[in-house]
Amino acid sequence: MSGGRFRKPRHRHAANARSTSEPETTLKTTPDAARDEGMHQRSQSSESRRPFADVIDVSDLAAERRSLKRRLLAMRIVTIALLLAAICVAGFPIVLQYQSSQRLAETSSSAAQNVAGWPYPQAKESLAAARAYNEKLAKSGQPVLGEAVDPFTAAAGGSKAKSEDSAAAKDKEYQSLLDAGNGVMGTIKVPKVSIDLPIYHGTSEEALASGAGHLYGSSLPVGGKSTHSVITGHRGLVEALMFTRLDEIRPGDFFYIEVMGETLGYKVDKISVIKPDDTSKLRIVPGEDRVTLMTCTPYGVNTHRLLISGHRVSIPLPAPDPGDLHDARNIAIITGVGTLLGGWLLVSALRRLRRMPWRVMHHGAIWPQRW
């Protein structure tokens, strides 16, 4: 400031002057330059990836992966085929035994229906005749007990005797008693082990191949004091269960005889093993009402006889109605199969959900893209 006058600064104009005087240094990128720059970058990128592509051949990896998948699929098919074959081999006897059990149960049911259709008092008269036979048998001292042909030895091929030698076949009076049709005299039921067999006269090979047999010389299975009826059956047959599971019976278990429209209940109180020629435990004990179930033992060896013996009890107490008792093994099998099937379905559903793509909806819920 001089002479009282105000002077404006000059540096702003100087700066403007310098800025206008200096040449413009900003570079403008043309389209050709941008294209060249992009090609240069892509070239550098491909050069950087080239060593990795040279080391690993992706096409070979894909082919190897496809080959591995084919081998795994073939192994899976072979495994499933072997598993199915094993199931068929193991299940074939079970199917045969089930079909046989159903057929024999139908035979028993058919005989019972036949008796139910008889005019009154035919069934009562048949029971009365059988009881009269038992009284005479008890007084005789049972001079004959059993057959000339041991049914279990004959079935195993150990006897050359013929069924025509059977004392039961020659006794016309015996054959005429308790005939509900087709030679069936009644039914033996053991609910605990799913036994439901028709009872035939005698213990011939034909009788035991068709169900259970009544031992000739023992009391007819109609109950009453001073009676001891012996019912026999095969064990260990491939095509039929028969008395195979009789060794599972324990004291206190129940079995039943159905004859001429009546149901007789018996409670097991004696279990014993005897030699084939021992009849001491098969004879009548005065005053007792007893039934004994007999089969061969040990399983597959058949050198002895297993006896399951029970005394008469009333129904429904203490013996429950036979329809109220069930085979625990069948229940366990059904439960196990149901559990396995349910588990398989659950695992399949979870695996399917894991493979399914998911998306998030705007309202926050999670939904699969497809079902």
Residue with tokens 């259970």, as numbered in its chain? 212
Whether residue 318 has a cis bond before it, omega within 30° of 0? yes
Quick one: tokens of 103? 């057929």
> Any catalytic annotation for residue 311?
no
Q: Residue 325: how many CB atoms within 10 A of its CB? A: 17
**Residue 217, helix vs strand vs coil:** coil
CA separation for the pair 21, 30 (Å, rounded): 26
Distance in angstroms (rounded) separating the CA atoms of residues 318 and 268: 12
Active-site residue among 13, 228, 296, 363?
296
Q: Which of 214, 228, 234, 304 is catalytic?
A: 234
Q: How far is CA 355 from CA 66, 134, 329, 361, 364, in A?
A: 20, 75, 39, 19, 21
Q: Name the residue with tokens 């269960």.
A: 241
Active site residue 234: yes
First-to-final CA distance of the chain:
90
With DSSP H G I counted as helix, E B as strand and the rest as coil, what are the percentages for the chain, rounded to 5?
50, 20, 35
Strands (E), the chain: 184-190, 195-201, 212-214, 227-232, 254-259, 262-274, 289-297, 304-313, 358-360, 366-368
150-181: burial string, b at 16+ Cβ within 10 Å, e else = bbbebbeeebeeebeebbbbebeebeebbebe
Separation of alpha carbons 213 and 293, rounded Å: 10
Active site residues: 234, 296
